[in-house]
Structure 1
Amino acid sequence: MSSRIPKPIRNLCRMRVSPTSLQFRLTLELVTLSAIGVSAVAFWAGWQMEQNLLTSHKQLLEYVAMRFPEQVEMYSEAKTVEVGLERTIAKLSTSGVSIWVQEPDGKILGKSSGINQPSSALLNAFTQTAAPVKPTILQFGDRYIVLCGNPLNVNGKLVGKVYLSQDITSDRHQLSTGINRLIAIGILAIFLLTIAISQRIRKTLQPLAQMSEIASHVSADDLGAAQLELQQAPDEILGLATAFNEMTVRLSGAWEQQRQFVGNVSHELRTPLSVVLGYLQSLLRRGDNLSTHQQNAVSTAITETDRTIRMLQDLLDLARADSGNLHFRQSPVVLNTLVAEVVEMSQKVSNRQIKMTIATEDIVALADQDRLTQVLINLVDNAIKYSNGAIDIILEKTEDRAIVQIQDRGIGIALEHQNRIFERFYRAQDSSTRSRDGTGLGLAIAKSLIEGMNGKITLRSKPGEGSIFTITLPIWKS
């Protein structure tokens, strides 16, 4: 059935336009103006049709009323006034005009006959009531009558009053039908104008929608490639697109300079800090003559120096990943064995219970074993830091993906932080979620490493119930 509906109407039905959008506002304003214009034209046309109809009937009765006394006088010259009235009524009772003459005491002196004979109800209605002098439309039940009544003087003598009426019910119904059709045509015109205006505005604003689409999906890695190519767009939008392209080029250059700076600084600082760390460790080992306070100070310096070196190494890894210089040695990795080794090592270091749920069959993924080990250790270490209960690691697979889940029952992560948890240096403001040993780079590195192995890492968390980090990797196919 939908195939019979015109395509523009189907497109209009499928559109989801926000009430606050520019497209909706422009469409509403133009449709409102069009509706007012069409309604005004339809109202004027209907009013003009009604006036033309009424004017023609009124003019006819005015003409008959003007001629009636003259005709009566002419026909009464040879015979009586009664004969003159009868002949005049017979002559002028045409085109549906009904005529009757009534004496002041209410007696009917003459009236139209045949199809023009006035109804008894009409005669009785004006026996005691004065009729309008000018032709006026009156409604009797379901009938519309044009009626007027004037004194009749013949040869200077008042004979009575002559009444003229014409039934315009059929013409009135035809007029109502015409007005209803005019209204229907106006509604159809407004509907078609709504479709046409909406489609035109949508097409005109399409370049803006394209710009919004590109801007919403652009990332730091593809700033240079995010270029708008518009054809047949208005000059104002073309100017905006040109400014957008120039902005992305500038941002791409600035981002590249930042990555190079971070990589260079990390590389240059790591070597001297490693030397400083070595001297501090040597000093602590041979510092028998150092006081307890001095030994604590040197130990603190060693800890902070080691932390700084690890942060610089993380920054260097991220810079290499951003520049595409972080290479991966993809090979078949038996996840059952790798996860078991990570669990055993983490339990020895932390003395925490880690529960494994591993499939009986071997799950072999295509990954870089060293990089994957680094990611798993990082995620398990986070689970240990931010929870006090047991930690679950679940290993399973689908037809083409291997899945590793690290689940804790700790403090969890609030919803407003979950979308940014993989950003560099981002750390939740809640003091309960912060760690003195963290740099805010671990999860960012984990994301870069997993994505570099054609995998994906996601998070599901609920405050007070814990978090679940899920890693998916491609299955190795021999």
Structure 2
Amino acid sequence: MLQFRSPHITPSSLQFRLTLELIGLSILGLGGIALGAGWQMEQNLVAAHKQTLEYIAMRFPDQIQLYSEMGQLEMGLERTVDKVSTPGLAVWVKSDDGKLLVRSPNLDATSPEIHRVDALAAVPETPQVVRFGHRDIVLCGSPLLLNGKSLGKLYLSQDITEDYQKLNVGLWRLFFVSMLTIVLLIVAISLRIRKAMHPLEQMSQVASAVSADDLNGAKLQLNQAPDEVLGLARAFNEMLFRLSESWEHQRQFVGNVSHELRTPLTVVAGYLQSLLRRGDNLSSYQQQALATAAAETERMIRMLQDLLDLARADSGNLHFRLNPIILNTLVAEIADMSQKVSNRPINLLISEEDIVICGDQDRLQQILINLVDNAIKYSAPDQPVDLVLEKTDRHALVHIRDRGIGIPLPHQQRIFERFYRVDESMTRSRDGTGLGLAIAKSLIEGMNGRITLRSKPGEGSTFTLILPLWSYPVEHQPSL
């Protein structure tokens, strides 16, 4: 069964890049809109006040002339100033020699507004924003002409500090609203991109988790995906189907070839052995050649038998006779037999309590012999091999430990693959087909067990068989 793992989002992932780019564009877009809106609001505020002062300055002579017709010029000036004066707007008129002729009711001769303007090197004739300390003033000083005659200079001063403060409050509100919108956009964009990338993530998970045994059942189900992803998913499913067919054909081919070759090779091995037994008149070189040919033929027969076992396991035709097995006895027999055959020390560590497991004794014996034989081959002649038997609540554990060359970490994940060798130059000289661990894995899994590996280069390896304990039926349990 396929098992999926949650993908990690890294800076190099497409999801991270798309999210970052869209968030960046959103921030730039909203930030630009907010800055543009703030700048436009400020320009509108200043322009409105400027237009007001320009209108007053333009209409001021006409107002003077209107009021002067009903009295003297000085009265016309005063009435005009009183008419245009509003809170926040200061109006005064000075003669050409600098004498204050008339002023707004809210001004006097010592008003700071007048002194600040007098301190300026030049007063703009058109309304401009001038900053005095912490105050913002729209100021202009234009010549005052009546019927072509100069009356002096008209000064208009509009305090817009409060309006600026209100504008700043509005801008801060706009800023916070923009930030909140950006946060909501970030969340929405992240969720949307994650949802949009889910089909690709599922495809990646299927591709990384699928194995040769899962090819038949591995299939992508993407009903809600976009058309482009659906097309990719269909192509992916078709590829899995073709791989499944190819893998099945390969299994059948290996099984058929192994079965067909085993009989003629057995005949060849028999003739070679017969020649060796009757080869008294052969030279030493001929006897050595026959011995080599016989050994390689036996090795080929073993490889074909291994391939047949794997083909049966792949097709589900490898049958097991599962019975209760006293593991203590079996492990002790394997240790004693291996020690006699190899003339190597085998350290046996087992508990006195009988450990009964459910398994196929012949298959389990084959696995243990294979693992002990590997431990002997890949360790120095003076180094012992440990066989340790342990028991947990539900499982029995058999550890086969050597102190040999070890297996590098990158190879440990592939060590149970067929024909896989860690180092061809190092292992080719040792006898073996390259199928032993693959067969051990298939056999142990056929008995509902597992095989694990812990290894470190230069320190040795430990293979562990994990098998379920035998559960006595209720009617056969001993009475207390």
The TM-score normalised by the length of structure 2 is: 0.91
Contact persistence 2:145–2:151 (CA under 8 A): yes
Q: Which amino acid aligns with 1:133?
A: E
Which one is further off, 68-77 or 303-312? 68-77
Residue aligning to 2:449 = 455
| Equivalent in the alignment of 2:204 | 212
Q: Give 3-state SS (helix, strand or coil) of 2:151's partner.
A: strand
- Over residues 234-256 of structure 1, what are the superposed CA-to-partner deviations in whole Å (9 max), with x where a residue is unaligned? 22222222222222222111111
Residue pair 2:377, 2:430 contacting (<8 A) in 1 also: no
- Specify which of 304, 311, 314 is matched with residue 322 of structure 1: 314
* More deviation, 293-302/335-344: 293-302
What pairs up with 1:426-465 in 2 under 5 angstroms? Answer: 426-429=420-423, 431-465=425-459
Residue 353 of structure 1 is matched in structure 2 by 345
Residue type of the alignment partner of 2:93: V
Kindly state the Cα deviation for residue 291 of structure 1 after the two structures are TM-superposed: 2.4
CA contact (8 A) 2:220 2:233 kept: yes
| Matching residue of 1:365 | 357
Q: Is the 8 A contact 2:252 2:311 kept in 1?
A: yes
Instruction: Confirm or deny that 1:127 pairs with 2:127.
Output: no
Unaligned runs of 5+ in 1: 1-13
- Alignment counterpart, residue 62 of structure 1, candidates 50, 54, 72: 54
Deviates more, 1:286-295 or 1:384-393: 286-295
For residues 160 and 357 of structure 1, the distance between their equivalents in structure 2, rounded to whole angstroms, comes to 119
Residues 142-162 of structure 1 show CA distances to partners (whole Å, capped at 9, x for unaligned) of 111111111223454433222
What SS class does the counterpart of residue 327 from structure 1 fall into? Answer: coil
Indicate the SS of the match to 1:150: strand
Matched, 1:403 2:397: yes
- Alignment partners' CA distance in 2, 1:400 and 1:454: 12
1:264-275 to 2 correspondence within 5 Å?
A: 264-275=256-267
SS in 2 for 1:394: strand
Which range moved further: 51-60 or 355-364?
Answer: 355-364
Note closer, same or farther for the CA distance 1:61–1:475 as it changes in structure 2 (3 Å cut).
Answer: same
Secondary structure, aligned partner of 2:453: strand
- Tell me, yes or no, if structure 1 residue 146 matches structure 2 residue 138: yes
Query: Residues 112 and 118 of structure 1 are in contact (CA less than 8 Å); yes or no, is this contact kept in structure 2?
Result: no
Which of 163, 169, 178 is 1:177 aligned to?
169
Rounded to whole Å, the distance in 2 between the matches of 1:297 and 1:236 is 64
Match of 2:372 in 1: 380
Runs of 5+ consecutive residues of structure 2 not aligned to the other structure: 1-5, 473-480
Which residue, out of 86, 90, 114, partners 1:98? 90
Q: How many residues align?
A: 464
Letter of the 1:390 counterpart = P
Which position in structure 1 is the counterpart of 2:471? 477
SS across alignment from 1:205: helix
Closer, same or farther: CA 460–118 of 1 in aligned 2, 3 Å: farther
Is residue 23–residue 201 contact of structure 1 (8 Å, CA) maintained in 2? yes
Q: Report the AA paired with residue 388 of structure 2.
A: I
- CA separation in 2, counterparts of 1:326 and 1:57? 96
Alignment match, 2:67: 75
Per the alignment, residue 262 of structure 1 pairs with 254
- Pair 1:304-2:296 in alignment: yes
3-state SS of 1:213 partner: helix
The one-character-per-residue Cα deviations of 1:313-352 (angstroms, maximum 9, x if unpaired) are 1111111111111111112222221111111111101111
Change (3 A) 1:243 1:218: same
Note the aligned Cα RMSD (angstroms). 2.1
Q: Residue in 2 aligned with 1:466? A: 460
- Give the direction of change, closer, same or farther, for the CA distance of 1:372–1:15 in structure 2 (3 Å limit): closer
The one-letter amino acid of 2:94's match is: Q
CA-to-partner distance for each residue in 1:279-321, whole Å, 9 max, x for gaps?
A: 2222222222222222222222221111111111111111111
TM-score of the pair, normalised by structure 1 = 0.91
Counterpart in the other structure of 2:476: none
Secondary structure at 1:246 match in 2? helix
Q: Secondary structure at the match of 2:141?
A: strand
Instruction: Report the Cα offset of residue 77 of structure 1.
Output: 4.5
Residues 99 and 118 of structure 1 are in contact (CA less than 8 Å); yes or no, is this contact kept in structure 2?
Answer: no
Specify the code of the residue in structure 2 equivalent to 1:359: S
Distance in structure 1 (CA, Å) of the matches to 2:399 and 2:8? 38
Structure 1 residue identity aligned to 2:113 = L
Judging changes above 3 Å, is the alpha-carbon distance between structure 1 residues 118 and 366 closer, same or farther for their aligned structure 2 residues?
farther
C-alpha displacement of 1:31: 2.9
